[in-house]
Amino acid sequence: MSATDWESNEELQYFREYLRIPSVHPNPNYEPCVEFLRRQAKQLKLPIQVYYPANEQNPVVVLTWKGLQPELPSVLLNSHMDVVPVFPENWIHPPFGAEIDEEGRIFARGTQDMKCVGMQYLAAIRALRKSGAQFKRTIHISFVADEEMGGRLAMRPFVDSKEFRALNVGFGLDEGIASPTSEIPVFYAERTVRDVFFKISGTAGHGSLLLPDTAGEKFSYILGKIMAFRKVQCERLANSPELSIGDVTTINLTRLVGGVQSNVVPPLLTAFFDCRLALDIEIHEFDAHLHKWADEAGGGIEVEYEQKRGHIPPTATDETNPFWVAFKGATDHLGLEIKLQVFPGGTDARYLRKAGIPALGFSPMSHTPVLLHDHDEFLHAETYLKGVQIYQKIIANVASV
């Protein structure tokens, strides 16, 4: 396609219009997104519902295409409306301008994470409806708030609501990650988030003394144990080419709080660690190590958690899951190279899996640098349009199970 074709393409214009809505943290306003989606629903001749599972500032928008056998469990195509903050001074193009350069790259926050996927769903549905297609299963297309903040005000409470249960969801699609190669990752699970902090009490006094049992000494012991554990995971990842970051446990010191001035030994230090536990880690054993290290450090240490979740079972990717078989059949038919992976971060798909609903994370963005949360986030117009075609086949397959 030429530059003129990119500027006139209907689906690209819808995508760019959506990108220009600055639903950006820390204070996203979702009302323009809701109004845009109402117009999309009207154009598609699909019913739309807006739910507020936590408060009136964080909507969940659901468009519905009723199936021929609506009693069957439905298919949920999920995406999120919110995007992470931007630093405009570091962007070549305005972060909410959705400008297309001469190469066909569309620059805007959300091009990869993940306004592209939500609009590709709608573009694929538009094409399928124009072709006269009909499917057994009802298809719900959801656009949720608050995903970038953990989904606490949208998907998490929504999955527990009677409104969600009424959707009768049997399978879900959610976001993936771009790939710089021809191989597209498909995410069937997520690591377990275990954000832990140590409240370390110790002897306080003048900084000129060698006081016993200081908080700093205890912290040093704990940090040494944690960094040794971390080193093992780094070596495992480096020495096993078949592994990706989602297959190992990551642990990082993210915050250290304490002290009043440079010549006073503080009575308390608080150290925060971001922990993402791999599927092969026994959570109770990991927690036991943390408490053991705290005791060995000298006591007077409280181990607490900001997030303390259990393992969520992964989605089956074999013949026992007919939705996986249908998804894989579509990617095989299209000649796509895919690779099953564990998602390294967190998505709203975990709430579906926790509710017992199989879910896959997939974003059809091959030969694309990974720029989610980065400056100059972009997606090529041709990659976007190819993704629409890919979703047409995937949606047709999974809705026909």
Tell me the three state secondary structure of residue 302: strand
DSSP bridge pairs for 140: 64, 76
Helices of type H across 254-357: 283-296, 322-334, 349-354
Does the active-site annotation cover 82? yes
Task: Report the alpha-carbon distance of residue 311 to residue 60 in Å, rounded.
Answer: 26
Please, are residues 186 and 363 in contact by the beta-carbon 8 Å criterion? no
- Compute CA distances 180 → 184, 332, 366, 371, 375, whole Å: 9, 20, 6, 10, 17
Q: Which two tokens stand for residue 380?
A: 């090529």
Does the active-site annotation cover 101? no
Helix orientation angle between 115-130 and 381-398, rounded to the nearest 10 degrees: 60
Bridging pattern class, strands 359-361 and 169-174: parallel
Quick one: DSSP state of residue 168?
-
Residue with tokens 């620059």: 107
Task: Report the alpha-carbon distance of residue 367 to residue 179 in Å, rounded.
Answer: 6
| Marked catalytic residue, from 147, 148, 190, 377 | 147
**What DSSP string runs through 220-274?**
HHHHHHHHHHHHHHHHHHHT-TT--GGGS-EEEEEEEEE-SSTTEE-SEEEEEEE
Q: Which two tokens stand for residue 230?
A: 């971390």
| Marked catalytic residue, from 82, 146, 148, 190 | 82
- Compute CA distances 39 → 45, 245, 281, 369, whole Å: 10, 40, 47, 32
Quick one: DSSP state of residue 313?
P
Would you please indicate which residues are annotated as catalytic (active-site) residues? 82, 147
